[in-house]
Structure 1
Amino acid sequence: MKENEKKQKFVQLQVCMLLLACTLLPDFGSLVSSIIGISDFDIPVFCCQVLGIVGGALALYAFYQSLGNSLSVVYLALAGGGLAIGVLTLIPGVPIWLNYIGFIALLIALFLSKNSIGIQWNNCGSQGAYLILMATLLHVYDGIGDSMPTHIAALVGLVLYWIGLNQLKSGIDTKGAQGVSRLKIAVILSIIAIIFGWIPLLGSLVAGILLIIAFFVEFMGYGSLKQSASLGVTGQDGAGKLRISMIVLLIGAFIDLFPLTGMVVGFISLVAIWFIFKGWMMILDGMEFRIARQKEDNSDF
């Protein structure tokens, strides 16, 4: 397996395992529903679960074929076991505690993946882009899961997003750094909006205004990234897809204002997740290709 393909498969595996883990997040509401026998079947969550299982299994199998016995047995057991439990939880009537076991297995596998598979990013900026992708996934999935655990996961995602932005800024040019600075402002505004959202009445209004401002600042941030030569043509196109994902989420937020539209908003969030995955993957590819080319050029002298 070529290095570039290896990194693409790694990101695919990580995103799919995280997506599946989000669907298995322990939720007190689901536990109560299962005890009293009320079905809480959610089609968008089900789609995320299937996507996570299929995409994760394909990537893990590709690594097993490529690495063979050098792949850690413990890692295989955790990642493969978590994906297998994800399949079992699709069966109606399966005990809710299986979700918790699967969630823990996938969470540990996520932390072990980099060393187990042997991934080395070409620079700190690439690692930052990877972290931002994972963080954004947590944030967007909150619109699908919409529970207390997903709200907490989204807050954790904001922290990861901030760390990723700091790392990304160190690996790009001035224009890209300007975009990162705008994205950091958007994160700060989002955190302040969350705090105001806890205040009754007036707090919700202030939070809404701050989120609108954060949206436009983030949109301009991706616009600056789209002009960054450090990302290459591929990465610049990826930044464009991230802007599309924001427009898709804006449409979802508008539709969410109307009653009985939760399922529609969930599917719209799924579309946004695809654009986010594709966008950050293209940014990663652009950065990794540029640095690999520079190393090749230097080795020629």
Structure 2
Amino acid sequence: MKKNLKLFFAITVAMSVSVTPVAAKPAEGKSNVSASQKETKEKEISSAINETDDAKASSQKTEVNSQANKKTFRNELNEQKKDLQQEKISLNQQLDDLKLKYENLIASGDAEGAKSVLENITALNQQIQDMNAQIKQTINERYMLVKTMYTNEELAEFSNAKELISKMYADAEVLSAGSVTINNNLIKFDTPAYIKNGVTLVPLRAISEALGGEVSWDAETQTVVIKNGDTVVQITANSTTATVNGETVKISAPPTKNCGRTYVPLRFLAEALGFNTEWDSENEQIAISDDVETPVQEESTNDSVSTSDEVASVQG
């Protein structure tokens, strides 16, 4: 019996020794694989983070460069248009002088002299037409730049507002985005300016703030108050008068609510805040500036100038 027990015990020990290493080996192998996978995963995550940071930095750099390029391009276009406009004004003045000279020669009976002047008039007219084409091209390039200031959704909303105002006022001329500059800077408005009965109407809050004013609304008196430095302008709903530093001033049209914005005559507000306005009717462009000297106004026969945004109830 003892012999059998000893034999059984020996067999059990032998089996235990032979099985244990086999069982331990896979466990050891599993631990090694897990550590390797973890290390690989950490490297992948670190690499992904670095790539994301690099992409973000690159995107930010691209955006900064893009904005800088837009500003440079905008300034170049503004200067180009300004130079072309001044040259066109000079050519028109020369044309007027030649026409007067031609009329005097005809009146004096100098047919030969009049013929020569007429040839000069024809050549000058061609120059002016070429100048108009260059100005138009510059404006088109500027408009393409303006479009980059809007998202597709904002452009769609602007277009809808433009269409709505056109339907509301059959006699109104609705201006396009980018039609207004302040000191040669393009202004982004979410609703369009429009000309009605010879008066250019613009959204009150946007133009006021673009001109450096602070806008507030007095619900009790239904009055919009615009402050810019020492200047205080007060405009009351449905009124054809306003006050500038306490002095009553007549305005060409009362405040009007359109597309969720309160519109007022642009020339009145710009000049009340110390700015000059210039209307280019041929190209439907409005330039606002704080130059000391009043700019030459070409074909300006109405209260023309433009902009856009709001003041909430007259607020708009």
TM-score where L is the length of structure 2 = 0.26
Q: Pick the structure with more helix per residue.
A: 1
Between structure 1 and structure 2, the one with the greater Rg is 2
Bigger RCO (CA 8 Å, 6+ sep): 1
TM-score where L is the length of structure 1 = 0.27
